[in-house]
Amino acid sequence: MRLDNKVALITGAGRGIGAGIAQRLVEAGAAVVVFDIDAERASSMAGNLARNGRALATHGDVANEDDARRAINRAVAEFGALDVLVNNAGIDRPGAVVDLTSEDWDRQLAVNLKGAFLFCKHAIPHMRGRGGAIVNISSAQALVAYEGYAAYGAAKAGLLGLTRALALDHGRDGIRANAVCPGYITSPMTDEWLARQPDPAATMRQVLSVHPLGRIGTPQDVGDAVLFLASDAASFISGTFLVVDGAMSVAGH
């Protein structure tokens, strides 16, 4: 599974899962564009990656079309092409439907779903005719509802629908589209969720108890899945999703 001479752009790559994906793709030989809403974080991550390969940083809001267009165009201008797009950026604001404000709902759908649409919209013209791979980072919550996460679950489920549409509409362009559905992963988002719990240590023990593999995942675990789907090893795989959750969901959780 190599990506030599390939160019990949990863949104939300300044930390957490996105950073793990970026690291894995650089190790596999790709030139990586780190996109993040935090310019300093993006720059720092790109600097670290550049020690072992080619990387550059760009920043903006995935839900802003001008920012998406600018990032895609910069990737092509700097590296000459765009072969892999990983839509990873996401936010998590808990709340049942009756508790969410319209602003909370709109922002989560904008970042978690519209952002992927915008980056695909501007990346696909650069992939047509030469091929490409799109990997959308969805969630186990797209498949199994979690109490109090109405907007997040809806957006992540929407990503699966978008993935199928991309695979159907652009397969003849040589573009494959797939999704990864992570479960619990060590990341800032998970840390922030734990910090909101009355007893974080007890909550983590409960989380571990529902994982047949006895641990939660790492950003590198997700990075390996993305690398597979982005590489020629998955050349006949499109329009589907890969669950990366340590068998948690098949255990009924």
Q: What is the pLDDT of residues 196-226, one digit of tens each?
A: 889 999 999 998 898 999 999 999 999 999 9
Strand-pair category, 132-137 with 175-182 = parallel
pLDDT digits (tens, 9 = 90+) for 120-160: 999 999 999 999 999 999 999 999 988 999 999 999 999 99
Does 253 map to a domain? no
- DSSP-derived 3-state class of residue 54: coil
Question: Of 93, 99, 84, nearest to 112 (Cα)?
Answer: 93
Task: Give the pLDDT score at 3.
Answer: 98
Predicted local confidence at residue 250, as pLDDT: 87
Rounded Cα distance between 173 and 95, Å, is 40
The DSSP bridge partners found for residue 186 are none
Residue 73 lies in a domain: yes
- Tokens representing 46? 């790109």
**Residues in the chain with pLDDT values less than 70:** 253
The predicted pLDDT at position 190 comes to 87
**Residue 135's CATH number:** 3.40.50.720
Residue 217, beta-bridge partner list? 185
C-beta separation of 89 from 115 below 8 A:
yes
Domain assignment present for residue 195? The answer is no
Helix (H) or strand (E) holding 84: strand 84-87
Structure confidence at residue 81 (pLDDT) = 98
As annotated, the active-site residues are 152
| Whole-number pLDDT of residue 173 | 97
Work out how many domains the chain is built from and give that number.
1
Amino acid (one-letter) located at 132: G
Domain that holds residue 58: 7-185+218-247
